[in-house]
Amino acid sequence: MNIVVLVKQVPAISDIKIDAKDNNLVRVGAPSMLNPVDIHAIEAALTVKEAVGGTITLITMGTALAGEGMRDGIAMGANAGILVSDERMAGSDTLATGKILAKAIEKIGNVDLVFTGKHSTDGDTGQIPPAVAQRLGMSLITYAESVAVEGNVLKATRKNNDGLETVEAQLPAVCSVTETANTPRSANIRGKMMAKKAVFEVWRLEDLGLSPEEAGTAGSATEVTELFAPEPHAAGIMISGDDEAQAIHKLIAILASEKAI
């Protein structure tokens, strides 16, 4: 089983800053971390690998520092990592990013299964899994809570409004997982040593058979006109009591004093 996991280095949530000139997130010099839900995608890939065998290749797109995020996946048990990095990719929207990542997967060749997190904390679009699946002509399962491979079929459970549903897709397939899909394992000493020594291939646009016009802002269909952080709000009031009835009476008294009722 040839498995790929798409991972992303994102700005640390507590230190997100916005560039006033181009309305984009400030990434250079900003504290960063591996996108949290991507760790669950790595764990899903490892579970499949342990069940049916195979190899796991991590792919990330970004600056040279983005490659450092893959070391966590190597420490967990992934076999290799590939950094897709080119200054001409800066500013790529999900349309351009989907094309670039699909080309990287094509370059690996004969990929059976692609795992991703359901979204990234910096963009929160969830558009990359379907974009990659569409460009590669692969089946797609999104927001998986659990996954398993049986023969040439990927089986997964997903949450819906009525509970859980079981879905199946023929391989090759793309699958995005949620943050409740599994409990990621901790890396052991051997894994950490391998991660420290890991050397990642670096692929540029020419390596993927893409032109500069297909990446970055030139290859993007969207334009960010405004981006801003939400205004902070004061913390709410916690009301407690010896029981529910007492707490309700306290709430009614507060609302009455504020002339809300």
Buried b (16+ CB within 10 A) or exposed e, 55-81: ebbbbbbbbeebbbbbbbbbbbbbebb
Identify whether 196 is part of a domain: yes
Number of domains in the chain: 1
Mean pLDDT by 10 residues, the chain (261 residues): 94 61 58 88 97 97 88 95 95 93 97 94 86 97 95 93 90 96 94 94 96 93 73 79 90 89 86
Q: What are the residue ranges of helices labelled H in 69-210?
A: 70-76, 94-108, 128-136, 189-197
Residue 110 lies in a domain: yes
Which phi and psi (to 5°) does residue 3 adopt?
-110, 140
CB 114 within 8 A of CB 1: no
In the prediction, which pLDDT does 156 show?
96
Enclosing domain of residue 92: 2-214
Q: For residue 252, is it within any domain?
A: no
Q: Does residue 116 fall inside a structural domain?
A: yes
Q: Per the domain annotation, does 258 fall within a domain?
A: no
CATH code assigned at 174: 3.40.50.620
pTM for the whole structure:
0.80
Q: Is the residue at 223 inside a domain?
A: no
In the DSSP assignment, the letter for residue 234 is: P
Look at residue 242 and tell me if it is in a domain: no
Residue 236 gets which letter from DSSP? P
Neighbouring CB atoms inside 10 A of 19's CB total 12
Asked if the structure places residue 232 within a domain, the reply is: no
The whole-number pLDDT of residue 4 equals 98
Cβ density class 96-110: b for 16+ within 10 Å, e for less: bbbbbbbbbbebeee
Q: List strands edge to edge, sheet with 139-150.
A: 163-170, 153-160, 139-150, 173-177, 113-117, 2-6, 55-61, 80-84, 201-203
